[in-house]
Structure formats: C-alpha cells, structure tokens
Amino acid sequence: MLKQVYVCGLWLCPMAACKIVPAFTILENPSAAAGLHVIGPRMARRRGAPSEASLLRQLAAERRRHRELKTLVSEMDVPPTCYWKGPELAAAKRRRLRAKTHVQQLVSTLRQVRESEPWQLGEGSFGRVLLGRQAGSGELVALKVIPHGSGDGNDTLAVAQLRTEAEVLALMTERREPGFPRLLHCATQDVAGRSSLVLAMELLGPNIDDLWWEATGGTSFSVASTLRIGRQMLARLQHLHSAGFVHNDVSPRNFCMGRGHDAVEAAVGVKSEDRTSVVHLVDFGSATPVCGQLMTDEFRGTWLFAGAPSHTGGLPRACTPADDIASLVNCLIYLGSGSLPWEHSSSEAESEAAKKTVMAEQLTSLLPEALGGPVGRLWQLARQAHRSPLINIHEYAYDADWPTACRAALGADVMPCGSNAPNYDWEEVGITWSASGEIMHAR
C-alpha cells in the first residue's frame, strides 16, 4: 500500500477512491494558437503558426527527400562503391535518418493540429504522458491519466501499473535519490468531464533516444558520452534495486535528462543544482520487487533491449536486477555503435534465439576498444548473476559486492565529474532545451 510522504511542502497521497478538487490542468495542443515547429519526437519549439496546408506541403517535400536519399544510399551501399565512398555513404545515411524522423514528426504534428489533442510528451509502458500545469504554482508537470470505468481488462492492468509507478516514485522521492522525477500528486480528479486517476510528476527534459537521434542522426555516440551516460544509467538502476525494485523496461527512451533547477526547491528557498546534465530514470509501471516471489511467463520490457533471460520461452521466472543490467549492456552497445545484432529479427522468437547464441566478443566487437572493454566486463557480471542469482535483497544494496563490481566495470570510481566531465555529444553540436523541456538547436 502507498503511504503519505511529506516532501517540499507537498503531501504525496496514495490513490484514493474519493473525489478531490482538481489540482492540475491538462494543456491542449497549443499549435492552433501559438504554432509549433517539431524538433524531436518528444517536444516541439514555438514558431510561426503552421496551417494544415503548410504542414501538408512540408510533409510531401520531406517524403520526397527521404525517397531520394533512400535511393542514393541503396546505390552507394554496395561493393566496391561503399569502400571508397565510406564518408559520403555515412553522411547520406545520417541525412536519410533525419529525413525519416522529420516525416514522423510532421505526421504527429499534423494529427495534433487536426484533432486538437492534449500535448503529448511521450508514451509510458501503459499509456500516454501528457503536459500539464499545476493550478496553484503554474509549474509545468508531466501527467499520466487513466479514465475510470472503461470496464475491460486493460483498464484494470493500467490501474495496477499506475499504482506501482506511484509507489516507486513515492519511495524514491522520500529517499531523495538523485536522478528520479519527484512525485507531486496521485489521486482521482475530473479530466475532460470524466473521473480519472491522475499521476503528476516532475517534468524532465528530452530522453536519451531523442538526443541520440538529434546529435548523431542514428549513428553512434562518442566513447566519452556513452560512458558518461552509461555510468549514470547504472547508478540509477542500482539505487532502484537498493530500494527494493527491478525496473524491467530498461531502454534509452526511459532515461531523460533533467530540466534546469528544481522549481519546488527554489520556491521554498532551497538551493538546487542545475539538473540538465543529470540522467533520470523514468517509467516504473512494469517494476517488480527485488527477490520477490512473483513468477511470470509474460515478457516484460522492450524486446530490442531486453537481455536473453527476459525472454521466458513460456516458463515462469522471477525478474531480477541482473535483467536490468543485461538490458543496460544492450542499451550501451546500441548507443555506442548504432545497432544491435538482432534488431532486424522478424519475430520475438528469432530475436530470443539470436540473443542466446551471441557471445560477449561478438557484441563488443561492434564498439571501439575503449568502450568494448568496460561494456564486455559488465556483460560478464550480468551473465554471472543470471547463472548464480543472489537470493538476499541486501546483496543488491548500492555498496554491496556485486553492484560495486558493476560500477568498477564501467570505471565509475574514476569518472570525471563536475566541470571536469566531458561534454555530451549534443552539447558539442549546440543542442539544448528550454525550461519547459523543448529541444532547441543552436542557430
């Protein structure tokens, strides 16, 4: 059961059956009034108001450009042309990926303009994440909303997942762990005339996957950026494990950068750090207890990044922290190389088979040596934990032997920090985001 926690002048309430005074407003898509120019799939930047006709013209032009680039890449990506035109081929692939992303962004914006939907920030494991505003302070927040009374099994599952997410966020907020969004509110209120369960949390910046696309065009982060991100990802997961939960859906989209200084702490006179360089872990709807007795034969997570043991093959098993670490290894290989060996599998079964036969050397061969070594050591530690599972929750404490060995594998103990830390790749190309989390490019 959830308990009330008092943090920064707010009571963090358990979900209640009673009706309460609405505390948050869901913002409708502002494009009709202010105009949007989509930069990343998650956020938008205000510009001159685009009409539907203007968006349709842009979409037609961008689709034509994507087809031309696709044809160009196909012509160049064959021996021997691909050998002596390597740099030109890589540049053409980046342009093609950017054109594809822009097409998706334009389609999304056009749909929002036509339907006047709420401003969607992203999608969690059980629904959309919407932009909201706190009624009293005016602070922008992220909202997850589940209307009551749909009457199907999906509604019951979504409610259970929302309760799990609220429980995890309340606990991490109480522990004041860095790199987790603050829980602001979780209860029942009216949304668009319907009684709904509402979870409000701190609004963060863009996720790592969006920044990877924007900064690299879907190629690869530098070794320094990948390790800096990976060490923070690992620390967040280990703090979650230490608190008693397994995440079960580790992917680049479930890690977001911070959004400047904390508005609540500033309001009560507490000095806060700039969080734009801090990686945050999000989306806890699939979380399960560490060393719990919950056995399931259902797949949990994102198949591209899930480790081989997460594919149950129809056999019940308990989720463990080692599953999260195996997924983290796959995330780092993806960010550092731009691909995974099984990403073109036609089915989950084919993906599972590929994951079970691949060796560490095959995975790390995709990476530069300076990154392949640390990631390979972390892969071996995850595999070791799968073969000989730890059975005591205290063995997953942040300072216990296995978590400490995992951090040492990625060199966390010698990681430069503060002003000595290397710039992220998106900082090098001038990508930033506003106080409302909107991705912006340097002009």
Q: Are residues 36 and 143 in the same domain?
A: no
The CATH number that applies at residue 180 is: 3.30.200.20
Between residues 73 and 226, the one the model is more confident about? 226
Name the percent of the chain lying above pLDDT 70: 74
- Cα distances (angstroms) measured from residue 240 to each of 156, 251, 383: 25, 15, 20
Q: How many domains does the chain have?
A: 3
For residue 310, pLDDT over 50 is answered with yes
The CATH number that applies at residue 398 is: 1.10.510.10
Q: Are residues 229 and 303 in the same domain?
A: yes
Q: Are residues 307 and 175 in the same domain?
A: no
Q: Which of 137, 172, 202 is the last residue of a domain?
A: 202
Q: Are residues 266 and 394 in the same domain?
A: yes
For residue 47, pLDDT over 60 is answered with no
Q: Are residues 13 and 58 in the same domain?
A: no
| Distance of alpha carbon 230 from alpha carbon 335, whole angstroms | 10
Q: Are residues 194 and 313 in the same domain?
A: no
Q: Are residues 332 and 185 in the same domain?
A: no
Q: Which tens digits make up the pLDDT trace of 170-201? A: 999 999 989 999 999 888 877 767 778 889 99
For residue 91, pLDDT over 90 is answered with no
For residue 442, pLDDT over 70 is answered with no
**How high is the pLDDT of residue 233?**
97
Q: How confident is the model at residue 235 (pLDDT cuts 50, 70, 90)?
A: very high
Q: Which domain holds residue 12?
A: 5-27+120-202
**How high is the pLDDT of residue 150?**
58
Q: How confident is the model at residue 156 (pLDDT cuts 50, 70, 90)?
A: confident
**How high is the pLDDT of residue 424?**
95
**How high is the pLDDT of residue 58?**
86
**How high is the pLDDT of residue 55?**
79
Between residues 156 and 219, the one the model is more confident about? 219
Mean pLDDT score of the chain, rounded to an integer? 78
Q: Are residues 134 and 259 in the same domain?
A: no
Q: Are residues 99 and 184 in the same domain?
A: no
Q: Which of 65, 90, 115 is the last residue of a domain?
A: 115
Q: How confident is the model at residue 54 (pLDDT cuts 50, 70, 90)?
A: confident
Q: Which of 202, 224, 242 is the last residue of a domain?
A: 202
Is the separation of the CB atoms in 263 and 137 below 8 Å? yes
- Cα distances (angstroms) measured from residue 137 to each of 23, 133, 134, 263: 10, 8, 6, 9
Between residues 162 and 346, the one the model is more confident about? 162
Q: Which tens digits make up the pLDDT trace of 329-345? A: 999 999 999 989 888 88
**How high is the pLDDT of residue 421?**
77
- The 3-class SS string of the chain reads CCCCEEECCEEECCCCCCCCCCCEEECECHHHCCCEEECCCCCEEECCCCCHHHHHHHHHHHHHHHHHHHHHHHHHCCCCHHHHCHHHHHHHHHHHHHHHHHHHHHHHHHHHHHHCCECEEEEECCEEEEEEEECCCCCEEEEEEEECCCCCHHHHHHHHHHHHHHHHHHHHHHHCCCCCCCEEEEEEEEECCEEEEEEEEECCCCEHHHHHHHHHCCCCCCHHHHHHHHHHHHHHHHHHHHCCEECCCCCHHHEEECCCCCHHHHHCCCCCCCCCCCEEECCCCCCEECCCCCCECCCCCCCCCCCHHHCCCCCCECCCHHHHHHHHHHHHHHHHHCCCCCCCCCCHHHHHHHHHHCCHHHHHCCCCHHHHHHHHHHHHHHHHHHHCCCCCHHHHCCCCHHHHHHHHHCCHHHCCCHHHCCCCHHHHCCCEECCCCCEECCC
Is the separation of the CB atoms in 213 and 263 below 8 Å? no
Q: Can you say how many angstroms the Cα of residue 138 is from the centroid of all Cα atoms in its chain?
A: 25
Task: Name residue, tokens 């060199």.
Answer: 411
Q: How confident is the model at residue 32 (pLDDT cuts 50, 70, 90)?
A: very low
**How high is the pLDDT of residue 117?**
53
**How high is the pLDDT of residue 124?**
64
Output the pTM of the full model.
0.74
